[in-house]
Each structure stands twice: as structure tokens, then as C-alpha cells.
A and B are shown apart, each in its own frame.
Chain A
């Protein structure tokens, strides 16, 4: 079967302001960045927008800036830019770790980090690392900008808190002292995650001072397991405790059966992923 793209009103912009002006007055719009999700979704008929605003030519939105106490990533930064960025590799290696597992070389050359978040797939690989690092999302519209924590960004599969006239401008990741890691299971390297987990840990005198746990593909949106986090804070670093708490993650997820795996498998593997990722993050702290 040969997929065809439906007829669209296509507008290409090269400035952010221009995009925001258009978004404020157009109805039934989809924003095109890397195209690896939107073009597929338009081909298979999942989305049939009247107008497509192509923002891929906005050069000012492709950057990774290290500001000491935070890293800022422009929405149109390519996934491959993140994998190769010395700033990310030094300050936020878990993001490079997660994104390097996303799709293929070709896909990472095209796909943007803003697109990965706005597409709001429960399996978005960039989400769990950004969730455990308490990233903030900067949204722009013609009225100005607002910043929200990424924990409030996703509302369901393909859904976010973004208003129709808003554009994701950048991602702001505050600097943290601890270490983090990301693990995913998928059928083959290219495939979407059956389940994934990222964790962040801070330890003082062998006691867990801070911990963040996030999971992908096991709920309608990428989520944080805040009850597991609370159960770990103040506890001694002990493999038995970690395993016990990791197994409680099943109470915070709501996986489904789909072509990639069953809900049962996702529940079982989530416990293992959370435990393994905690161990991996703790190992990185010791180094």
C-alpha cells in the first residue's frame, strides 16, 4: 500500500514570532518539526489537519546551552544533536542514554526533542529522563511565555496541557547533584519501548536523600512513581529495600495489552526496570 499525504494548506515559517502569530489566528493546525511522527500520522489518517505550519526552518530554536545551574534545550534540537552534545554527555548523560536508544540513526537525524514531547506518546524516550530531572517546559504564544513542570505537561496519549495557539519553545533542566540512569525493553532495537524506566538518586552517608522514578509505556502518559519515591527517601541503601519498593511500582501504573506486550508483562518488567535502574544510578554515584 502506498501512503499518500492528503492535501494540506502548508505554511513555512522561519521566525518564532511568525509561527506564534499564525497559531493565534488559524484553526485546525498541526505544527511540523522533524516529521517522523506527524507525517506518518497524516499518512495513516490519524491526523487530518487543514493547515500545517512547518517550523523546521526556525534556526533559533535549535540549541543546547549550559548555564551552569541549568541546561536549556531548544525545541527544534535534533535527537542526534542531543546524543552527540558534549554538554548533555557531561551534565545530563541520562538524556543522551535514553535518546540514543530512540529509533534509528535516520530518525534521530530528523526527529526533534520538542516533537517527541508534543507528540505525547506514553513511550516517548526523552520523557522519563526529563521527568526524573524535574525539567520545566517553556511554552510560547502570542500573549507571552509560561513555564510549567514537565510532570504537569502530559495529560494522556497524544495529549498535553498545551493550548491550541501555544508552541513548545524550550526545555529547561535544572542542575542536580545526584546521578541518574535509563533502561528500556523493546522487541528489537528500532522499536518503541514495551516499558522503560528512569531513576535519579542522591545519597548522603548511605541514606537516600532524594530519589525520582519515572516510567514510560505503562500508563496513558509518561509518569512519575511518587509513592515509591516517598517510600525510599530516608532509607538506607540496601538491595532488599530497593527490591521491595521497586515491586510496589505496580500500584502506580496502569498498563494495557497491545501489539508490543501484555499488561501482565509490563507490570512484571516494570518492577525489574525500576530496580535495575536504581542500582545503575547508585553505581554511577559511587564512581
Chain B
């Protein structure tokens, strides 16, 4: 089946099978390997991407279902070498260890800060509860989101 959709602002047209998943199309066909595959059953959040601006799990989304829609992956978050505030804050707070789960966290962080400029700690935890990290213990990840919120608001002033 032929599908056309936007990835990080660029239109792409591809031939996909009905049983192909969005994550495989992103990683294998478009070589956007920033989106990570972990559990494959919707438990871990590592494969999170934005679909029409809303976070979804690319391991449970059929590729045919994104026809005509817009996908944002981790590759679409930074502007070239310029990191986003969320990415910058993750680096500064040491919120990354092995790093494998981080693209999912960054996507959720970006989404959260778009909806709530100054989230409380509870709100941060609520938004991130579908993302698992087995190294950091989450403390620095939460710090990083708070810092990103500060960076973002200070820049807009």
C-alpha cells in the first residue's frame, strides 16, 4: 500500500505492507534510528513519537495508519546541531546514562512543556509514567524537565 506522510516536516511517500509497524518504517526504511525499539508491547515508551503533535507508541501503530499525517521523531527535535532546551537540560543535569530510553523521554518532555510551561513535579511524573529508564532512577530526568522549563521560559522573556 502506498502511503504519504510528513516526517519531521519533510513529505515522504513509501510502499508499505499492512503488517508493517511505524517503528520499522522509521528505523529500517527512513534510517531514522533515533526512535528506539525496546519492549514491543506498549509498556516502555522508548518508541514514542509525535503523531499530529500527540505522543503515541510507534511499536503499536501500523504504518498504513499514518497516511496523510505528520510524524515527529527525536531527529526532528533539534535544529541541526542546536539542541532543544529539553535536550540541553538532559545533558546539563546528567539525566542520561546508557541513553537508550532517552529519545522517548525527550519527546514526552517536549510535549509536556508545550502543554504546560511550568509543570509541577507531580505533573512531570504523570506525563512520564509511560517511559521506563533502568539506569538513572528518574531523579535527574525530572530535574532536567524542570530545568528545561526554566530555560524555555527565560528564553521567551
Contacts and interface: CB of A to CB of B under 8 A. Distances in A.
Interface of A: 1-10, 12, 32, 35-36, 39-40, 43-44, 52, 54, 56, 103-107, 109-110, 189-190
Contact of B130 (A9, A44, A190): A190
Contact of B127 (A3, A12, A105): A105
B67 to A, nearest CB: 9
A56 B69 CA distance: 13
Given A5-B21, A106-B55, A106-B57, A54 B62 contact: yes
B129 A10 contact: no
Nearest to B131: A104
Contacts of B64: 10, 12, 54
Contacts of B56: 106, 109-110
B108 interface: yes
Give chain B's interface residue range (CB within 8 Å of chain A).
20 to 34
Interface string B9-37: 00000000111110000000000000001
Given A40-B41, A43-B40, A35 B62 contact: yes
B78 interface: no
A191 to B, nearest CB: 9
Interface in B55-97: 55-57, 60-62, 64-65
A190 B43 contact: yes
In the A-B complex, the 9 residue pairs with the smallest Cβ-Cβ separation, listed nearest first, are A104-B130, A10-B18, A5-B19, A3-B40, A39-B60, A189-B129, A40-B41, A106-B55, A106-B130
B54 A109 contact: yes
A110 B41 contact: no
Interface of B: 1, 17-21, 37, 40-43, 45, 48, 54-57, 60-62, 64-65, 108, 111, 126-127, 129-131
Nearest to B48: A106
Looking at A2, A8, A190, the one whose CB has the most chain B CB atoms below 10 A away is A190
B52 to A, nearest CB: 10
A20 to B, nearest CB: 21
Nearest to A42: B19
A43 B61 CA distance: 12
A6 B48 CA distance: 22
B128 to A, nearest CB: 8
Looking at B21, B48, B62, B65, the one whose CB has the most chain A CB atoms below 10 A away is B62
Nearest to B43: A190
A105 B42 CA distance: 11
Nearest to A57: B65
Contacts of A110: 56-57, 60-61
B61 A52 contact: no
